């Protein structure tokens, strides 16, 4: 199997995309190879040509989503600007994902029970990197004097946890619009960091 083959890589991505759709709906253990294959008009067996096993496929799904989110945050950070404004954009982006991509974003919250040791290691590395982007902006703020934090790593976790929790209670027809939520969250987060 030439994995370097362009066609193969394309197909892998298609499978990933379909798998992510299914995982969004059913969760990791709820997703079946059967349903994923069906979405692609393929058969179960074919998936095993591209992925070693379900665990491998699930792992790469997780990777894919996390990487995508990572890239978007990197862009925001790269663009630069006033620290608080950059943070605001990152918050907006993260909350957007948490609300609009709800289930996809849940990927990030799924337990690591499904991955083996090496996969787990890589997953943690990626997670750390993603979370590190928030550390990055916090550090900028600390240097610029905009922020103050006793334990910046914990501050970052508090912020992430708070934002991820939104998907538990957010309703499209709720009291607050997405924009208002972002604004209020931003205000509270600033309180944490000042």
Partner DNA sequence: AATGAATGAGGGTTCATTCAT
Partner DNA sequence: GATGAATGAACCCTCATTCAT
CB 8 within 8 A of CB 49: no
Smallest separation, CB 79 to a copy of itself (Å): 27
Quote the distance between the C-alpha of residue 44 and its chain's center: 27
Smallest separation, CB 86 to DNA (Å): 40
CB 37 within 8 A of CB 77: no
The one of DNA, a copy of itself, none whose footprint includes residue 42, by CB under 5 to 8 A per kind, is DNA
The rounded distance, in Å, linking the Cα atoms of 178 and 190 is 18
Residue number with CB closer to a copy of itself (19 or 108): 108
Among the candidate windows 6-14, 62-70, 78-86, 157-165, which touches a copy of itself by CB under 8 A? 157-165
Smallest separation, CB 69 to a copy of itself (Å): 16
The site string for a copy of itself over 163-192 (x = CB under 8 A, - otherwise) reads xxxx-xx------x----x--xx-xx--xx
Among positions 69-128, residues that touch a copy of itself (CB under 8 A) are: 103, 106-111, 113
The rounded distance, in Å, linking the Cα atoms of 41 and 65 is 23
Q: Which of 21, 39, 55, 114 binds DNA (CB under 7 A)?
A: 55
Residue number with CB closer to a copy of itself (11 or 26): 26
In what helix (H) or strand (E) does residue 151 lie, and over which residues does it extend? none
- Answer yes or no whether residue 158 interacts with a copy of itself by CB under 8 A: yes
Among positions 8-47, residues that touch DNA (CB under 7 A) are: 8, 11, 31-35, 41-46
The rounded distance, in Å, linking the Cα atoms of 154 and 192 is 11
Q: Where are the extended beta strands (E) located within 105-172?
A: none
The site string for a copy of itself over 9-48 (x = CB under 8 A, - otherwise) reads -----------------xx-xx------------------
For 91, the token pair is 């918050």
The rounded distance, in Å, linking the Cα atoms of 184 and 194 is 15
CB 16 within 8 A of CB 64: yes
Tally the residues of the chain.
Answer: 194
Chain position carrying tokens 């998936």: 47
- Answer yes or no whether residue 68 interacts with DNA by CB under 7 A: no
Q: Which residues bind DNA (CB under 7 A)?
A: 1-2, 5, 7-8, 11, 31-35, 41-46, 48-50, 52-55
């Amino acid at each position: 199997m030439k994995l370097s083959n362009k066609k193969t890589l394309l197909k892998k991505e298609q499978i990933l995309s379909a798998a992510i759709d299914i995982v969004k709906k059913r969760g990791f253990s709820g997703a079946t190879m059967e349903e994923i294959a069906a979405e692609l008009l393929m058969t179960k067996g074919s998936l095993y040509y591209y992925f070693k096993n379900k665990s491998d496929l699930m792992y790469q799904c997780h990777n894919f989503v996390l990487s995508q989110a990572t890239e978007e945050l990197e862009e925001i950070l790269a663009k630069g600007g006033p620290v608080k404004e950059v943070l605001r954009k990152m918050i907006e982006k993260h909350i957007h994902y948490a609300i609009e991509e709800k289930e996809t974003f849940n990927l990030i919250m799924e337990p690591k029970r499904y991955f083996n040791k090496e996969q787990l290691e890589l997953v943690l590395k990626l997670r750390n990197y993603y979370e590190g982007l928030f550390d990055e902006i916090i550090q900028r703020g600390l240097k610029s004097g905009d922020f103050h934090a006793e334990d910046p790593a914990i501050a970052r976790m508090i912020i992430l946890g708070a934002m991820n929790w939104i998907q538990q209670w957010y309703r499209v027809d709720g009291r607050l619009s997405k924009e208002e939520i972002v604004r209020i969250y931003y205000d509270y987060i600033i309180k944490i960091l000042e």
